Amino acid sequence: MSSIFDKFAPLKEQHAALTALGRSPDQLQFEDIISPTEAVLNGKRTILMGTNNYLGMTFDDTSVNAAIEALKTEGTGTTGSRIANGSYEGHKALEEELAAFYDMRSAILFSTGYQANLGAISALAGRDDYLLIDADSHASIYDACRLSDAQVIRFRHNDPDNLERKLKRLEGTSGSKLIIVESIYSMLGDMVPLKAFVEIKKKYGAYLLIDEAHSLGVLGEKGRGLCEHDGVEKDIDFITGTFSKSIGTVGGFLVSNLPGMDIIRFVSRPYMFTASPPPSVVASARQTLAKIAGATDKRKQLWDNATQLYNGLKAAGFELGPTLSPIVAIRLSDPEKAIALWNGLIDAGVYTNLALPPATPFGWYLLRSSISAAHTPEQIALAVEVCTKIGRELGIITLSNSQKAGVSKHPDNGSAQLNGASETHPDATSETESLVTPTGDDPAARV
Amino acid sequence: MLEIQSQLRSRAAENSVIGPDTNITRDLGLDSLAIMDFIFDLEDSFDISIPMERIAEVQTLADLTKAIEILQKEAS
C-alpha cells in the first residue's frame, strides 16, 4: 500500500547512508548541559564547538534569575499573539530597549529569529515591489520570499556588481526595491561587503535590510554588529536579528529608523498569528541585551578565540572559509570523510555541526564550528589537536599541507580577507526537483 | 534557443542529448547550484533579470526559451 511518506524515499535513503557511517545529527542527545561550552553526550564530557553561543551568556546569573522571577510572577506563557491577547509590559520594554540600543526609532519583536525575517521581509515587500536577495541567503529569507507577493530577484553571493546590473534593469519601475543581505553568512562565516552595497542602494534609491543574526554582540565597539563596525548605520533601513545566538535565549526582532513602521504589526502574518514570546524569555533577553554594549572584554576574548581556532586549523592544513570570523568551517568535498571526521570528533569529545549540500555553498560538506568567548584557550587547543590527528588519519590533511598554510588576523586588526572561497568547486551531489532550491539554508541554527 | 542550448551543453554531463523537451533539472545531471549559476550566466548574456517565480515554472529547454523571450519583450 502506498503511503503519504513514499515521496521521501530518496531522502530516507540518504539519511540511512549517513547514519550507517556512524550517528545522525538529529539523534544526538545531550544528557546534561554543564556550561556554555561543555555538555555530557552519550555519557562523555564533550566540548561544544557548534552552539552559536558567541558570548557564552546562557548561564548568566542575572538573566537566569530574571527569567525565574518572570515565570513566578507572569506565568509560563502568553498563550496567544499580541494582536489577540495584548502585550505584556516586558514586550514593550524590550522593544524600547532594542530601539535605544540601535539608536533607531522603533523595534518590533517576533517569537523567533526565523519568524523575524519571515515576518519582516514578507510584509515590507508587497505586490508591486521587488525583493533582491543574495543567492546564499538563509532559509528564513527564501521562505519570506515565498510568503511575499513581491517579485524576487537573486544576485550572485556577495557580488555588488551583479546586484547593480539588476537594479539598473528595474529603473523606471514604480515599486519599492528592498535588498536583503546578511552580515555574517552562517555556513562559511564570510561577511557581506556592506559599504559597497550601501553605495549601490543609495545610487538606485533602494531600501536595504541586513540580518545581523551572527554579528549582534560580536562586531562593533558596542556590539551592534557589522553596520556599527563599518560605520554605515545611518544608511541602513532595516535590521533583523535573533536572541538565539549571543543573547542566549529565543526570539527575533526588526528595528528601523523609518517613521511609521508600526503598521507592519497589522500586515505581518508571522507576527499576528503566533504566540508572543513568553515572559521568562523576554526577561532574560532584556538582561542580556543590557550587557551587550559593555561586553567589550568578552568580544575581545571571542575574537582571540576565533583567531586561535581559525589559525590553528589553517596551520594544520585544513581548507576553511574565506574570512576569519567566529564561524569556522572546514570545507570537504568527500562526504564519507566529512562524516567520518564529524563522528571521530564526537568520539574524542568535541562537538561540531555537520552541514551537507544543498544547504551549503558550492556543494561543500562542512564541519562547522562557532566559537564562544567562554571557550578556554586549552579547550580550543585540544579541539585543534584532535581535529588534526583525525584529519591526518583520514588523509584529509598531510604534513606537507601544514607547512604551506598561512595565518590571518581578525577584521578589527585589518586584513580579514584570505584567498577567495572559489578556489575549488567540488561537484555537489544533491538531487533536487526545483530550479529554485535555496542554497544557503542553515539547517541547524535558527530556532 | 541555440544560445541557451550551447550554454547548457557546456555544463551538462558529456554526451547528453539536449532538445526542446529536455528537462533541465532531471535529464542533465545538473544540481541546484549548477542550475543557479547557469541562470546567472543567462541573465548576463541576455541582459535580463529572471525572477524566481518565473524560474519555478520552467521545466524544459522550451519553457526556458519562452520565458526568456517574454522577459526580453517586457524589457524593451
CA–CA gap between residue A3 and residue B24 (Å, rounded): 28
The x, y and z cell numbers of residue A411, run together, are: 577584521
Å between B60 CA and nearest CA of chain A: 11
CA–CA gap between residue B52 and residue B32 (Å, rounded): 13
Question: Predicted confidence band at A402 (pLDDT cuts at 50, 70, 90)?
Answer: low
Chain mean pLDDT for chain A: 90
Contact A151 B53 (CB under 8 A): yes
Contact A293, A222 (CB under 8 A): yes
User: Which residues from chain B sit within 8 angstroms of residue A135, using beta carbons?
Assistant: 36, 40
H helical segments located in A111-237: 113-124, 139-147, 160-169, 194-204, 226-229
Q: What pLDDT does residue A18 have?
A: 87
> Of the candidates A362, A429, A435, which has its C-beta nearest B35's C-beta?
A435
CA–CA gap between residue A425 and residue A319 (Å, rounded): 12
Instruction: Please give the ipTM for the structure prediction.
Output: 0.93
Mean pLDDT of the A190-211 span: 98
CA–CA gap between residue A112 and residue A242 (Å, rounded): 7
Q: Please, what sign has the CA dihedral across residues A266, A269, A271, A272?
A: positive
Give the residue carrying C-alpha cell 567589550: A296
Max Cα-Cα span within chain B: 37
Nearest to A244 by CA among A217, A270, A226: A217
The separation between the first and the last C-alpha atoms of chain A, rounded to the nearest angstrom, is 36
CA–CA gap between residue B54 and residue B26 (Å, rounded): 18
Contact A163, A190 (CB under 8 A): no
Res. B54: pLDDT tops 50: yes
Q: Which residue of B has its CA nearest to A437?
A: B32
The x, y and z cell numbers of residue B22, run together, are: 529536455
Q: Tell me how far CA of residue A288 lies from CA of A84, A284, A376, in angstroms.
A: 28, 6, 21
Contact A166 B49 (CB under 8 A): yes
**Domain range annotation of chain A:** 14-57+295-414, 61-293+430-445
Mean pLDDT of the A245-269 span: 97
Question: Predicted confidence band at A217 (pLDDT cuts at 50, 70, 90)?
Answer: very high
Mean pLDDT of the A80-85 span: 95
- How many CB atoms lie under 10 A from the CB of residue B45? 11
Please tell me the least confidently modeled range out of A15-29, A57-71, A133-147: A15-29
Question: Predicted confidence band at A405 (pLDDT cuts at 50, 70, 90)?
Answer: low
pLDDT, tens digit (0-9, with 9 covering 90-100), for A123-149: 999 999 999 999 999 999 999 999 999
Q: Residues of A near B (CB-CB distance < 8 A)?
A: 135, 145, 151-154, 156, 162, 165-166, 169-170, 357-358, 361-363, 427-437, 439
> Of the candidates A156, A169, A435, which has its C-beta nearest B40's C-beta?
A156
Q: Which residue of B has its CA nearest to A432?
A: B32
Q: What pLDDT does residue A404 have?
A: 52
Å between A146 CA and nearest CA of chain B: 9
Query: Which H or E run includes A307?
Result: helix A296-316
User: Does the predicted model carry a pTM greater than 0.95?
Assistant: no
Q: Residues of B near A (CB-CB distance < 8 A)?
A: 24-25, 31-36, 39-40, 43-44, 47-53, 55-56, 58, 75
Å between B26 CA and nearest CA of chain A: 7
Contact B39 A435 (CB under 8 A): yes
The x, y and z cell numbers of residue A14, run together, are: 540518504
Query: Which H or E run includes A82?
Result: helix A82-85
Burial A359-387, CB ≥16 within 10 A → b, else e: bbbbbbbbbbbbbbbbbeeebbeebbebb
CA–CA gap between residue B54 and residue B70 (Å, rounded): 10
The CATH architecture assigned to A14-57+295-414 reads: Alpha-Beta Complex (3.90)
According to DSSP, the residues that pair with A240 across neighbouring strands are A211, A254
User: Which residues from chain B sit within 8 angstroms of residue A361, using beta carbons?
Assistant: 33
pLDDT, tens digit (0-9, with 9 covering 90-100), for A292-326: 999 999 999 999 999 999 999 999 999 999 999 99
> Of the candidates A153, A162, A427, which has its C-beta nearest B51's C-beta?
A153
Strands A38-41, A106-110: pairing kind = unpaired
Res. B46: pLDDT tops 80: yes
Q: Domains in chain B, please, with CATH? A: 21-75 (1.10.1200.10)
The x, y and z cell numbers of residue A281, run together, are: 524569555
Contact A118, A143 (CB under 8 A): yes
Nearest to B55 by CA among A407, A435, A138, A346: A435
Query: Which H or E run includes A349?
Result: none
Show which residues of A are catalytic: 186, 214, 245
CA–CA gap between residue A37 and residue A252 (Å, rounded): 23
CA–CA gap between residue A113 and residue A252 (Å, rounded): 4
Q: Tell me how far CA of residue B18 lies from CA of A78, A296, B2, B31, in angstroms.
A: 58, 59, 11, 16
Contact A439 B32 (CB under 8 A): yes
Q: Which residue of A has its CA nearest to B43?
A: A166
The x, y and z cell numbers of residue A409, run together, are: 588576523
Contact A439 B58 (CB under 8 A): no
CA–CA gap between residue A12 and residue A89 (Å, rounded): 46
Contact B56 A435 (CB under 8 A): yes
> Of the candidates A151, A169, A432, which has its C-beta nearest B31's C-beta?
A432
Nearest to A50 by CA among A224, A251, A183, A186: A186
Contact A154 B58 (CB under 8 A): no
What Rg, from alpha-carbon coordinates, does chain B have?
A: 12
Residue range A61-293+430-445 in CATH 3.40.50.1370 = no
Contact B39 A166 (CB under 8 A): no
Res. A438: pLDDT tops 60: no
In DSSP notation, B22-72 reads -BTTTSS---HHHHHHHHHHHHHHHT----HHHHHH--BHHHHHHHHHHHH
Å between B31 CA and nearest CA of chain A: 6
